[in-house]
């Protein structure tokens, strides 16, 4: 059951979702430990978890004694330590393109809609609950517009964001789209993104990583 590899995550966390996809694509077994981001005042703030990750965010992967944080760094670590199948292209220009696509999501979209940010908009800045949706839709829309413009018609775009196998870019894109759909954002303006999303969701590695497939997801 992969007891040497423990993923601390939360079913609906986009960043944990990325790491699950990468582990599945690599065929790596792992034990899943839920860190509930709301219950008990947010279990990510508990002293035991904070000792693992002082940022008090999920995910955290403990891999044979290595404590790894930040999902994109974790995916690169998995790619370096388990090179097959590769999650980044072999050439520096291709790697730069994949990392840039991933970082559009990982830096400029996802962190703005993270739970702690939405909570602070209301609790720290005094906005009402409806602000969460306005804010989230705005930044997801900005990111998807840029991604669609970057992906559509580019010679390196294939069945997936870069070529015909999934990379770090797809690993970041799919959880962000899950989130976009949750916020009821129309994807009609992003046909290339939609096509890539469908190609990803056809793969078992992505299906098994889905929030609703996790042991800590609420029963529906």
Which CB, 80 or 212, lies closer to its own copies? 80
| Using rule CB under 8 A, residue 183 touches its own copies | no
Q: Name 43's Cβ contacts closer than 8 Å, sequence gap at least 6.
A: 35, 36, 37, 49
| Using rule CB under 8 A, residue 59 touches its own copies | no
| Using rule CB under 8 A, residue 131 touches its own copies | yes
Tokens read off for 171? 């690993």
Which CB, 32 or 70, lies closer to its own copies? 70
């990583």: which residue's tokens? 209
Q: Name 199's Cβ contacts closer than 8 Å, sequence gap at least 6.
A: 159, 160
Of the candidate residues 54, 153, 215, 218, the single one contacting its own copies (CB under 8 A): 54
Of the candidate residues 29, 38, 96, 213, the single one contacting its own copies (CB under 8 A): 96
| Using rule CB under 8 A, residue 124 touches its own copies | yes
Q: Name 56's Cβ contacts closer than 8 Å, sequence gap at least 6.
A: 42, 44, 45, 49, 50
Which CB, 69 or 165, lies closer to its own copies? 69
Which CB, 33 or 94, lies closer to its own copies? 94
Query: Least distance from C-beta 13 to its own copies, angstroms?
Result: 13
**Around Cβ 21, how many Cβ atoms within 10 Å?**
28
CB pairs under 8 A, 24+ apart, for 47-51? 49/8
| Contact in structure between 35 and 9 (CB atoms under 8 Å) | yes
| Contact in structure between 2 and 78 (CB atoms under 8 Å) | no
The conformation of residue 163, written as its DSSP 8-state character, comes to B
Binding mask 139-178 for its own copies (x = CB under 8 A): ------xx--xx----------------------------
**By the criterion CB under 8 A, which residues form the site for its own copies?**
54-57, 66, 68-70, 72-74, 76-77, 80-81, 92-93, 95-96, 99-100, 102-104, 106-108, 110-112, 114, 117, 120-121, 124-125, 127, 131, 134-135, 138, 145-146, 149-150
């Amino acid at each position: 059951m992969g007891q040497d590899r423990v993923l601390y995550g939360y079913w609906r966390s986009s960043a944990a979702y990325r790491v699950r996809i990468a582990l599945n694509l690599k065929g790596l077994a792992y034990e899943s430990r839920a860190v509930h981001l709301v219950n008990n005042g947010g279990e990510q703030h508990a002293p035991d978890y904070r000792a693992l990750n002082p940022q008090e965010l999920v995910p955290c992967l403990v891999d044979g004694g290595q404590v790894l944080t930040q999902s994109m760094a974790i995916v690169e670590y998995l790619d370096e330590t388990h090179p097959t199948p590769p999650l980044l292209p072999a050439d520096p220009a291709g790697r730069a393109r994949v990392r840039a696509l991933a970082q559009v999501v990982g830096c400029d979209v996802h962190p703005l809609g993270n739970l702690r940010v939405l909570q602070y908009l209301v609790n720290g800045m005094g906005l009402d609950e409806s602000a969460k949706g306005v804010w989230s839709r705005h930044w997801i829309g900005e990111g998807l517009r840029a991604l669609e413009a970057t992906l559509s018609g580019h010679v390196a775009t294939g069945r997936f964001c870069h070529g015909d196998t999934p990379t770090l870019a797809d690993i970041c894109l799919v959880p962000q789209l899950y989130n976009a759909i949750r916020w009821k954002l129309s994807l009609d303006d992003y046909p290339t993104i939609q096509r890539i999303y469908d190609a990803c969701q056809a793969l078992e590695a992505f299906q098994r990583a889905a929030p609703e497939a996790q042991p800590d997801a609420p029963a529906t």
